[in-house]
Structure 1
């Protein structure tokens, strides 16, 4: 029995669209001023959705993309062995291929060959950075039959607001040598610079004021920027150096700074804002006061950054006007990155680790499941069953650092899954070197439970010299499976990997977690049976604390399969129903938008009580809860004993349950 709401389609709208001719559509769009050049994904044109524009770009024409402000860049991946970029006018740009160094192309125009030496066949990463604003990108030229591929998106974005210092003035590479660029790269985050030489905070006596111009598309002009194009995780403001020369009083500066922080908050409700003390120590008290005013207004995520002692006069500057040299910008980033990292990640060390590809804290490594990433900065521990991590890497080899003996499974690219039995130390995952290029790695550890006590920790990867990591494409949805040894996959050939939860996640193309433990009950029994109604909210199934931070991920669906073990531990029907209702409430609190499925246990235990708990949740206003009748899903040939499914049995469950989940979450 599966409760399902009525769904209505849009047949009328689709039928109308079907009879409209292409010419009519174009005509209507043109009249509305909305015509765009729509590109086929993968063709490298300006409108190709596989191109990621970072910064304030005007892509409205569909045939040219104009980069506004300094240091804007475009990212993608591509197949084939060569790539060229089309530039309308002479331009200076830097190009990085496969995470390599940024190669400078000076004053180039037309169709520019970015790979004079062809690459190895495969998929490659590309980043094109424009040194100055108001430059034009007109698309890519690829090999015959080649195409672009959506690049892995770095988590989060930092926006830096400032003047010539933030723009990297007087350094060799300008924006690419600035502390802003270096900080963003060090933290493994996307980054923008809304900065221009000579700009002030307050518009006064000919000085452009960023308190107003920040909200515009370009460094000049009055066209408003569409802030829905991206959302910043952090905004770093470094302004005030130039205002002193334009007669801005302390009171006027403080008032403008306070209002600016308020207005930035309105555009970025979730960002942490950092107000940096200028290197020339101008308007220090006023900057502090502006931060205090915003804090006093209830905005706790505005912080003052004291830069005292960060740079040394003379040695770290290009001139006497406060412009750092390249070493100075590096020192600035060395000090600023931990400050931002501490605010965004919870510890300062996390931001430092972010600069070390393949190590714990590398933001390009996606940890799926409940991992302890805070107890140790050098060893991340997965709890519960079926946790895994995924990362992209360049180069030809990869090794995994393991502290103690463990069993694990690893898969590189789309190759076969390989089992590593009782290994420790530095484990070579590529005894035969890979082809040069970009690769992906996924690793999951044997479930540490019962008699198996392996050392399941992640201590980092060893990559080739000069290689780096990247964030591979990742599913946008996640399904969580809550249960006991059946959900763990006990007695199946690869444990969690061959359990129905893992199989369904892979089949639906979603991330998946198994919040399950062998022998667990729903109710914490007096004889010691672990009760998942209590432990569901925990990081560790066998510890009272700490609680799991539910904000670390949000599930789109949660499948609960509990009750098989409770019957053997003296749990009464009334206790079970009350605990089931409580667990449904806890799951809803953790995952407000998820569809929750309560399964009938395959042995038919506590079925009326499970149904009653679901009915109670629905009656209480939670319409996204269903009871799933599993009668007849498993036969005698699907079990290794009277309880646990074998590989065939888990596949049979996945065959029946996957369509049920897919129908609810739209995959």
Structure 2
């Protein structure tokens, strides 16, 4: 049994492998539920190589089945009660991967070059399913091969009719969000629609204009977007000045393209002149329209930063007139739209690192979803699959106020009533 080897290049999640997830300064208990165990493949397994027709690849992948950009992954159906995935020679040490069965909760596991079992007999994900029933498995990272029980099989997963492409930088790829790419507004928007295929071609630090920004990004998006790989240092080390071209004709055309670029161009370190930014943006839209002539293109305004003014905070967006000029340039053609983000975010929706918090990402995604429904007539199709991971907070304690004020409850520090209870029990009012 042969497994195709494949290289793993940096994803947005890589930094999380050894990180601590904090919620308002408090460490999150069990931040990575779902660790998979290593397993040896023997005659009780049936193996599939990485190029198996049953495996659907999501996002951009190169010819060696190396995954790139934000939240790439695989999706397929399987029968039986066990499932294992192998990871190739160049898999990063202890990289964090996200996976789920069907529309259940995302789980996370650190993996290295080896084979790991993600589904085993007795798994809760198999409740109410028979051995021969087809379950859907999705994993947002790259693989070397897939194994199921020897008398089970893989099945090609059905695809949705529409496709969304998001082009952006660290804001769209979820840098510094709790689960980075899986907590980004780009993912929340596309996955939140529930009935579309999607690719998030976004990378932290990249500029729209074709120049090196922040040291780690080799080229700007007007160049890099037509390439299989991202603009990061590992991709540059792998490909140098000759990255693989992305074959647009070999993949499904996008029906909707969302562009959110320019925050890095306008940063103090780069300060791209207004005219250069405008001309590059027009070039970007022209190229998108050339490869996908039937796609609707949405230009998102840039929310910028918030600065303190007196006793409040004031939003300072960037390249406002430039993005509007680009929209006006294409307005008569009918396929370009303008989505104004001003006022959606408040200062506390931005983290100390200058990126949206999880709630900030959700706010942007939710507004954009409603805009897409109202302006473009797209219907929401999510009927239960999880989108934003592990952000459910609620109180299910009976007589909530009475138990707190009687001093009879002992709440977790994560409970919304914990601070109030602490004040009461310590005589603070």
Taking structure 2 as the reference length, the TM-score comes to 0.65
Measure, in 1, the Cα distance between the counterparts of 2:53 and 2:47: 9
Taking structure 1 as reference, are residues 358 and 392 closer, same or farther at Cα in structure 2, changes over 3 Å only? farther
Structure 2 partner of 1:400? 85
Measure, in 1, the Cα distance between the counterparts of 2:50 and 2:111: 22
* Structure 1 alignment gaps of length 5 or more: 1-355, 446-456
TM-superposition CA deviations, 1:617-666 (whole Å, max 9, x none): 234xx311011111011112212126311111111011100122234163
- How many Å apart are 1:470 and its aligned residue? 1.0
Structure 1 partner of 2:135? 439
Measure, in 2, the Cα distance between the counterparts of 1:397 and 1:625: 47
Taking structure 1 as the reference length, the TM-score comes to 0.43
Out of 263, 269, 276, the position equivalent to 1:564 is 263
Q: Contact 1:358 / 1:365 at 8 angstroms: preserved in 2?
A: no
- How many Å apart are 1:460 and its aligned residue? 0.9
Per chain length, whose mean CA-contact separation is higher, i.e. which structure has more relative contact order (CA < 8 Å, sep 6+)? 2
- How many Å apart are 1:526 and its aligned residue? 5.8
Measure, in 1, the Cα distance between the counterparts of 2:75 and 2:266: 38
- How many Å apart are 1:507 and its aligned residue? 1.7
TM-superposition CA deviations, 1:3-24 (whole Å, max 9, x none): xxxxxxxxxxxxxxxxxxxxxx
Taking structure 1 as reference, are residues 409 and 389 closer, same or farther at Cα in structure 2, changes over 3 Å only? same
Measure, in 2, the Cα distance between the counterparts of 1:365 and 1:662: 31
Structure 2 partner of 1:545? 243
Counterpart check, 1:512 vs 2:225: no
Measure, in 1, the Cα distance between the counterparts of 2:294 and 2:210: 27
Measure, in 1, the Cα distance between the counterparts of 2:156 and 2:117: 21
Structure 2 partner of 1:586? 287
Measure, in 2, the Cα distance between the counterparts of 1:591 and 1:643: 33
Structure with higher Rg: it is 1
Matches within 5 A, 1:617-628: 617-619=330-332, 622-628=333-339
* Structure 2 alignment gaps of length 5 or more: 1-45, 232-238, 305-316, 380-429
Matches within 5 A, 1:426-465: 426-433=115-122, 434=126, 435-436=130-131, 437-445=133-141, 457-465=142-150
Measure, in 2, the Cα distance between the counterparts of 1:600 and 1:464: 50
Worse overlay, 357-366 or 552-561? 357-366
Moved over 6 A (4+): none
Q: Contact 1:483 / 1:561 at 8 angstroms: preserved in 2?
A: yes
Counterpart check, 1:554 vs 2:253: yes
TM-superposition CA deviations, 1:271-302 (whole Å, max 9, x none): xxxxxxxxxxxxxxxxxxxxxxxxxxxxxxxx
Structure 1 partner of 2:320? 607
Measure, in 1, the Cα distance between the counterparts of 2:111 and 2:73: 18
Measure, in 1, the Cα distance between the counterparts of 2:377 and 2:144: 35
Out of 614, 632, 639, the position equivalent to 2:343 is 632
- How many Å apart are 1:495 and its aligned residue? 1.1
Counterpart check, 1:370 vs 2:60: yes
Structure 2 partner of 1:500? 185
How many residues are treated as equivalent by the alignment? 294
Taking structure 1 as reference, are residues 563 and 587 closer, same or farther at Cα in structure 2, changes over 3 Å only? same
